[in-house]
Amino acid sequence: MKTVIPFNDFAAHVRGLRPEIEAAMARVLDRGWFILGPEVNAFEAELAAFFGVPDAVAVANGTDALQLALEAQGIGPGAEVITSPLTAAFTALAIIKAGAVPIFADVDPDTLTLTADTARAVLSPKTRAIVPVHLYGHPADLDPLFALAQEKKWVVLEDACQAHGALYKGRPVGAESGLAALSFYPTKNLGAFGDGGAILVGDAEVARVLRQLRNGGQSDRYHHVRTGINSRLDELHAAVLRSKLTHLSHWIDRRRHLASLYHQALATLPLRLPVERSYARAAYHLFVIRHPERDAIAAGLRQHGIETLIHYPIPLHLQPAFARLGGRPGQFPVAESAAQQILSLPLYPELSEERVLQVTDALREILAALREPNTSSRS
């Protein structure tokens, strides 16, 4: 069956923005300055203003943003860093790149984010930081995590790579902790036409260190005071991101509107729907349903020409890349059972309301057939 509703539609996305993107790119080409220049400076200031934080440091991608944020806080070899097993593997890879050891902790059954209780269950005298992931754009409950971190003198680094535009108790994620990593991978709520990332920073000294670390550890040209890396953002991407940032609030509203249509249309079906806690205004990076027969539902939707994805099918403690950390099946029951049941439905600003209802109609049909296996096998 040919795809009728793709999981993402970048052609439509670009079509709507093309004139302003071309103008932004032309500005860079005319200026002839391509790395860490006026566009990056302006983007950093505009991004910080959007999030209501003192500063933002642009880097090459979200993984580097996480790694450098930890390094700028002095977290490296010998340190343990608590994070979620239900996230992009890049979260844990960044911790390893910083020289620290990721320690996984189970997640809340509703929000699928870390909690203070699950973190307490895995802490050790070596724990130095905690990296809550605002999965699918739903903020983790930060206040109990902040309280625990303060008690233990841990650094809190928010992985907000999926949560641009999400609010926690009325304030953007990243604002309270003063340390958050963003990704501008094309599928993210604010995406470049390539890789990009940033760290939201509350502390001026940390921002100064980050600007050195992202550029080879230089304090001044050819003066290397730290073993930094090359994680510079280029001017073309900064110019594109500046242009797209002006649409972000509107895009989040649109995502939330489409998510509310999904919620309304699916409310009476035997599915587990995303939970938006009272403290949160979710940014709906993804709309993720849960059902024990997830694979049959995904196959049924594919029959209707509807694309879905799974974020993420294998919890990190069970991935070969992290085997040396000693993870075993059954260790994190909530994350493991979620990984078997989650299914991401199409959700992006360019998606029409009609198509959302096409998806929900298809789901209703598929679920009815699942409940009457005899009818479905004959059809």
Ligand X SMILES: *Cc1c(COP(=O)(O)O)cnc(C)c1O
Q: Which residue number is nearest to ligand X in terms of Cβ?
A: 62
Cβ proximity to ligand X, 61 vs 308, nearer residue: 61
User: Min. distance of Cβ 300 from ligand X in angstroms?
Assistant: 27
Beta bridge partners of 344: 288, 309
User: Min. distance of Cβ 269 from ligand X in angstroms?
Assistant: 27
User: Min. distance of Cβ 163 from ligand X in angstroms?
Assistant: 8
Measured in degrees and rounded to the nearest 5, phi and psi for residue 288 equal -115, 120
Instruction: List, in sequence order, every beta strand (DSSP E) within the chain.
Output: 55-59, 80-83, 101-104, 127-131, 155-156, 158-159, 167-168, 171-172, 179-183, 197-201, 218-220, 223-224, 280-281, 287-290, 342-345
Residues 297 and 7: their CA atoms lie apart, in Å, by 15
User: Min. distance of Cβ 375 from ligand X in angstroms?
Assistant: 40
Residues 354 and 360: their CA atoms lie apart, in Å, by 10
Cβ proximity to ligand X, 164 vs 297, nearer residue: 164
What does the block give as tokens for 226? Answer: 């730290």
Contacts of 278 (CB under 8 A, 6+ apart): none
Residues 130 and 154: their CA atoms lie apart, in Å, by 7
- Residues in contact with ligand X by CB under 6 A are 61-63, 87-88, 90-91, 133, 159, 161-162, 183, 185, 195, 197
Cβ proximity to ligand X, 13 vs 134, nearer residue: 134
Residues 132 and 143: their CA atoms lie apart, in Å, by 12
User: Min. distance of Cβ 162 from ligand X in angstroms?
Assistant: 4
Cβ proximity to ligand X, 287 vs 300, nearer residue: 287
Cβ proximity to ligand X, 108 vs 159, nearer residue: 159
Cβ proximity to ligand X, 198 vs 297, nearer residue: 198
User: Min. distance of Cβ 181 from ligand X in angstroms?
Assistant: 7
86, 79, 166, 310 alpha-carbon torsion, rounded to 10°: -20
